[in-house]
């Protein structure tokens, strides 16, 4: 099994920054893709960013230039640096790892951006 634990969410004013972390443990093997999704109230969960073990990245258009994903393969940890936050970034952010054809999810961390 795989466990993912997120941290770093909170309340921030518009224009501010937050850094999310997600530590993975358990039966994690490579190759894998680690990433972040978010779900705002009343909306479906959406993809935010992902990073493969080799370093390739992908972002949803709405966060390009503001968010940066990175990972530490030795620690099975993925990060999301979020700058220039906007109220529309408010959501529960979920960590995800995709390996062996299976997705695993963290419990989520709340990010709230006030206007």
Kindly report, residue by residue over 22-71, the tens digit of the pLDDT: 999 999 888 899 999 999 999 999 999 999 988 999 999 999 999 999 99
Q: How far apart are CA 108 and CA 6, in angstroms?
A: 6
pLDDT of residue 41: 92
- 1, with CB counted inside 10 A (0-12, 13-18, 19+), is exposed
pLDDT of residue 29: 87
- Confidence bin at 101 (pLDDT 50/70/90): very high
Q: How far apart are CA 42 and CA 22, in angstroms?
A: 25
Identify the DSSP state of 15: T
pLDDT of residue 30: 86
Percent with pLDDT over 90 in the chain: 93
Strand, coil or helix: 45: coil
Q: How far apart are CA 115 and CA 107, in angstroms?
A: 26
Q: How far apart are CA 56 and CA 18, in angstroms?
A: 22
């Amino acid at each position: 099994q795989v466990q993912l634990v997120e941290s770093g969410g909170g309340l921030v004013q518009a224009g501010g920054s937050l850094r999310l972390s997600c530590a993975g443990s358990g039966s994690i093997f490579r190759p894998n893709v680690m990433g972040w999704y978010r779900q705002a109230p009343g909306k479906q969960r959406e993809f935010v960013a992902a990073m493969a073990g080799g370093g390739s990245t992908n972002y949803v258009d709405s966060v390009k230039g503001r968010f940066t994903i990175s990972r530490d393969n030795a620690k099975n940890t993925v990060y999301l640096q979020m700058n220039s936050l906007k109220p529309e970034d408010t959501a529960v952010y979920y960590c995800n790892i995709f390996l062996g054809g299976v997705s695993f999810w963290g419990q989520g961390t709340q990010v709230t951006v006030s206007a």
